[in-house]
Each structure stands twice: as C-alpha cells, then as structure tokens.
Structure 1
C-alpha cells in the first residue's frame, strides 16, 4: 500500500497580529474542532498558486473581517509538525498593519493580549515555538528582511 501519510501535506499561513498598542490577537478554537478549546493565532490553508502573505490576508479577512496591509507582513518562523495522518507546515508571519476591527466571524472568541501574558493561555503544542519567537526574538529578526 502506498504511503499516503507522507503525501498529505497542509501548508498553513499563521498571523501574529499586533494592534497599535502592542497587543497580539488570539482566537479560541471551537470545542468540537481539532485541539478544541485551546487558543491559537489566526490563519488558514495556503491554496495552490497563492503566496503565503496573500493567503494570510484572505484568511484573516474571512475569519476576522480585517484587511491586511500585505506590505507590513514579515515572516517570523516556519514550523513543521508531523501528525499521524498529515504533515503540517505552519508559516508564521507578523502582521503590523490592517484596516477594520477584528471580530470572530465564525463565532470564535477573540482577545487582544499583551505578549508577556501569552504563557497564561493554553495553546496547541506546536504553538510553543511561536510563543518563544515572540517573547525571545533572535538577533536575526533585526535584519533587513
């Protein structure tokens, strides 16, 4: 039987969205969803032929009703996570500028929180690296890209 597990790959654009007060937006996953009840950084699947930043802008508009200024997006990190049924690549980007007021268009609760309080919320295990990158920026994050 062919190995279909390795062939199922999901590329996900994830947004670490900052407001002008330096707070970050988090959303709570629906209880009946995979990893339900945990908090997450909003985002969604990258479609074929789409850039990650464009996918992120589309997903954040669909989920939150905001219009992302794609020129303000900078890559934070990539995380590959192997599940038993699929391989997920989390492509995580900082979003510093957007228009509109974020609201949970899919009924998901949202919170704007200070970065230092991220560790007080329960996130999926794969998000630990994202939180670490937010709280402990590397020197390379100050480079020109």
Structure 2
C-alpha cells in the first residue's frame, strides 16, 4: 500500500487557541474535524507543502513553525505519514477558502471534537505542548 505524506499545521492564535477545520462529507474521513494541511507533492519540501496547503485552504502563510510529531497510520484503504508542525505565527486572516467549517478551540476543548484515528496522537501531543 502506498504511503501518503501529509504536511499538517497545528495553527495557534495569540491566545493559543487551535484552528480546526471539518472535512467535507465526500472526502476520506469526511465529516470529522482535522488540523489543516495536505499532501506533499513529488519533489516538494515539507515547508513548501505546508505553506501551499495553508494558503490554498485558509489564505494564510506560516511565518514561524516548529516540529511537533510524526505519525504513521494505516487505514483499511490507505496509509498516511503525518508530518505535523505547530504554526506559532502566520500572516493573513484564516478563512475557509474551500467552504469548510472552522473552529478556534482551546487545548482542553479538543476532546469535544471527533477526529480521524490518525489525528488522535496529535491531540495528545498538543495538550502536552500547551499545558
């Protein structure tokens, strides 16, 4: 099974609230909440992929990031490698460019949201990082 490399951003606002987006129903893991990001294209660096995906999805540009966690997860239909970075600073104003719902939540509120199985270790890592 081919592994899909995904650049993921845990985007924080000035109050350390975290930006979540909800996957469209027709997509893989549709209807669940996630941390924004997307596939790293062939020959593309992780930084370039993260910047491109956050611009395409949210109209923002990451300014200051740091690695948080790497996750390998096998779903029945695909394998993913999530390369997760905290976005401490960004330029622009986040908005759902693709019409996806968004929510700014505290680390304590993350447990109130349903995430894809591969995202659950991200939640645990964020709680450790921010508390």
With the shorter chain as reference, the TM-score category is over 0.9
In structure 2, the partner of 1:114 is 106
Q: How far does the alpha carbon of each residue in 1:30-60 deviate from its partner, in whole angstroms, 9 at most, with x for none?
A: 1121111110000001112222122101100
In structure 1, the partner of 2:35 is 41
The structure number with the bigger radius of gyration is 1
- Does the residue aligned with 2:121 lie in a helix, a strand or coil? helix
The alignment's C-alpha RMSD in Å is 1.1
Larger fraction in strand: 2
In structure 2, the partner of 1:81 is 73
Residue 84 of structure 1: how far off its partner (Å) = 3.2
Matched, 1:65 2:84: no
Find the aligned partners of 2:117 and 2:109 in 1 and give their Cα distance: 17
After TM superposition, the score normalised by the length of structure 1 is: 0.85
Q: Specify which of 127, 131, 144 is matched with residue 123 of structure 2.
A: 131
**Number of equivalent positions:** 129
- Does the residue aligned with 2:51 lie in a helix, a strand or coil? helix
In structure 1, the partner of 2:23 is 29
